[in-house]
Structure 1
Amino acid sequence: MGNKKTSKSELTLQFHAKEMLSDYVTAVTWSPDGKTLAVCSAAGEVMLGKVGAINELSLQPLQTPTGKSIDCLSFSSGGQFLAAGGQDGKVQIWRADSGELIANLDNQRVWVDKLAWSPNSNQLAFSIGRCVQVWNADDDVVEVTLNFDSSSVLDLAWHPVVKYLAVSGYQGVKVWNGEDWDEDPHVLSVPSATGAIAWSPQGEYLACGNMDNTLIVNEWGSSQPWVMQGFPGKVRELAWSDKTNSLGAPLLAASSSQGISVWERDADESVGWEGWALEVHENVVNAIAFQPTTFLLASAAADGQVCLWYEAEQLLQILEGADGGFSCLAWHPEGSFLAAGGSGGELLVWARSMRGKGFSRMR
């Protein structure tokens, strides 16, 4: 896998800082430049954090507890805006540098649990029931409402390169062309419902985690998807590596119940994708993510463990600090920090070990 392996000592993490929110941490994310950490909770808090020297993590509230959960957070691609959505049906957008609230889109009685900024423009897509709306920050206008039709929207994902927006739910995925929203969407059908979806970093593959315990990988432009079966439950979380193997393909990790499987594109077309299992967690895996530029995989679970998997194969390290379980995690864009949220309101940050090349230095 890959060309040059990073040594294990360079990849271990050490405790950096811990803060507490007042309830279950629902999401955590880093700004694209890595200078700011955003975190939100089931109490409705939205906080911005700066990571300083060891044991330094200063949090500033954008929103104090409201009693209604905030469930999703996303920085715009340039890092200028932070959007949050949740239980009260509002989508709020702040200027990330000043903390000024610049928009408050109210969709009464509809829980907003999915939102994402386009990687190429200041367009924000968010779910409202059976629809997805796209708000344009440059014009301060909702430019389109896309009707998924067959069910509530379960996930959404922008293509990383071209202006496509994938939306999943009952009976599969619809992919709209953002150059012409009126064009009929491209439909990827599944016999059940598709929950999690994720484009590979270059956009050549779209992975779909399904309610019928299958994982489907579509190669964009091909009519024959690969179907992986035998999962213990629905496929809940997906993560692609941005590093590629000798074939130029990224790795795909998928979690189902307390298990994780990793999939690698095989040179043999008849094999397609070859998978292996990572089994240590004793409760549901709530989040998985590859460290940027490596095959190091982090997994956070309700058993109170964050596991680091060397080359996405071998258990390297177990991180703890949320006794009631971990709910979410996010790597710093340079891979130098890992942040994770806990069900008791814990926010933990670990840093690249000093035993390696220094946690701030990246190849």
Structure 2
Amino acid sequence: MSGIEAFSPKGMLHECWSAQANDYAIVCGWALQGKTFLVGDVAGGLYAFEGISGKLIWQIKDIHKGGLLAMSIHPNGKTFATAGQDGHVNIWESQKGTSTKTLELGKGWVEHIKWSPDGKFLAVVFTKYVYVFDDKGQEHWRSEEHPSTVSAIAWSNSNELATACYGQVTFFDVVNDKINQKLEWRGSLVSMVLSPDGDIVACGSQDNSVHFWRRSTDQDSEMTGYPGKPSHLAFDQTGTVLATGGSDRVTVWSFQGDGPEGTVPGELMLHTEPISCLAFSHSGMLLASGSRDGSVFSWFLQKDGQGDPVGGAFAGDLVSQIAWHPDDTALAAINANGGITVWEFKVRTKTSPQGFG
């Protein structure tokens, strides 16, 4: 590991528990209202841990031939979906790890899957097509062929799905089978995030820029000057600030007033290598960032995009994903060496009660 030395949790991050996967941990998330923490590794290993203690509840090997690529947890937390290099999507029961359905799309990778906000639909990317299945695993809708491989998907509401590929973002009404809006820009889009109200679309581009549109006005703009591809983007829950990677610092743009055009972004600087993941808390203006150097920091942001660190910890290796507990009282991180770490998040006191909160 270069650039940063291992250090003990600081500030509002406190040691809780840690565990180890058998391979590069690639996906994670909280299920069953935070009672269970799910982790998947690239070899197709799947793990469920007790949220508070870290006790291993169940473990499954080789769930996807060739490897695991994506996971999405149903909004109710009782089920979740995984996808892999075998062209399959598997639906699982969270409590016992029982497989309830397998969807076979064909030969090819399934890299992106996402449940709709109400949990009625599961969107699945398969090369240049996007499929939508209902909660029973029946195909409900299928897109026409996109101009290139679909690089990202996001639900703007329970019936409208956004897709990104080379040169365009398209909003589909998957219930009435129609295109609601198409936003075009000549360039390769590598990431996408929507503001909570679905009006602002932000995409990281292959040319080291962030391009965004306001759907209500059709206005678009661009933020340039990133050293690398902004592959990681995150809006806070109010849609006021947009956090972006693309370097070893987190660049935060404020959409307050007439921003971000003509404004200077906030810059959060403690990592020593490029940002590898970003996640906002479920309430408030708390941002967590992970880096290739193995560090994790939490930040309190202001509406103008400026921010201060409130916690820091060392995860041990490249941080592949971070996830806030549903009530924001804990923060989890997984890394490229299979490491799994959960920290309690709270004001530091002389006596720390057990559990979250």
By the TM > 0.5 criterion, same fold?
Answer: yes
Q: Does residue 156 of the first structure (1) align with residue 146 of the second (2)?
A: no
Residue 338 of structure 1 is aligned with which of 331, 334, 349?
331
Deviation (angstroms), 1:63: 3.9
Secondary structure, counterpart of 2:143 in structure 1: strand
Give the letter for the 1:73 counterpart: M
Identity %: 26
Aligned residue number for residue 279 of structure 2:
289
Distance 1:190 1:201 in 2: 22
Closer/same/farther in 2, CA of residues 318 and 354 from structure 1, 3 Å limit = closer
Aligned residue number for residue 141 of structure 1:
138
C-alpha distance after superposition, 1:113-133 (max 9, x if no partner):
111000123211111111111
Deviation (angstroms), 1:177: 0.9
Closer/same/farther in 2, CA of residues 178 and 170 from structure 1, 3 Å limit = same
Secondary structure, counterpart of 2:149 in structure 1: coil
C-alpha distance after superposition, 1:192-225 (max 9, x if no partner):
0212111222323222222222212322321112
TM-score, length of structure 2 as denominator length: 0.88
> Where do 1:6-85 residues align within 5 Å?
12-31=12-31, 33-53=33-53, 56-64=54-62, 68-85=66-83
Q: Which runs of 5+ in 1 are unaligned?
A: 1-9
Aligned residue number for residue 173 of structure 2:
177
Closer/same/farther in 2, CA of residues 332 and 77 from structure 1, 3 Å limit = same
* RMSD (Å) for aligned C-alpha atoms: 2.4
Aligned residue number for residue 326 of structure 1:
319
> Where do 1:145-224 residues align within 5 Å?
145-159=142-156, 161-181=157-177, 183-224=178-219
Deviation (angstroms), 1:266: 3.3
Residue 129 of structure 1 is aligned with which of 127, 130, 137?
127
TM-score, length of structure 1 as denominator length: 0.87
Deviation (angstroms), 1:298: 1.1
Deviation (angstroms), 1:62: 4.0
Q: Does residue 259 of the first structure (1) align with residue 249 of the second (2)?
A: yes
> Where do 1:241-256 residues align within 5 Å?
241-242=236-237, 244=238, 249-256=239-246
Contact 2:119–2:135 (CA<8 Å) still a contact in 1?
no
Distance 1:77 1:129 in 2: 25
Secondary structure, counterpart of 1:206 in structure 2: strand
Distance 2:331 2:206 in 1: 29
Distance 1:251 1:173 in 2: 21
Contact 2:315–2:334 (CA<8 Å) still a contact in 1?
no
Give the letter for the 1:127 counterpart: V
Deviation (angstroms), 1:85: 0.6
Give the letter for the 1:104 counterpart: T
Give the letter for the 1:165 counterpart: L
C-alpha distance after superposition, 1:274-316 (max 9, x if no partner):
5122233222311101122122211111111112223262233
Aligned residue number for residue 101 of structure 1:
99
Closer/same/farther in 2, CA of residues 257 and 172 from structure 1, 3 Å limit = farther
Deviation (angstroms), 1:32: 6.5
Distance 1:286 1:238 in 2: 10
How many residues align? The count is: 342
Give the letter for the 1:147 counterpart: E
Aligned residue number for residue 6 of structure 2:
none
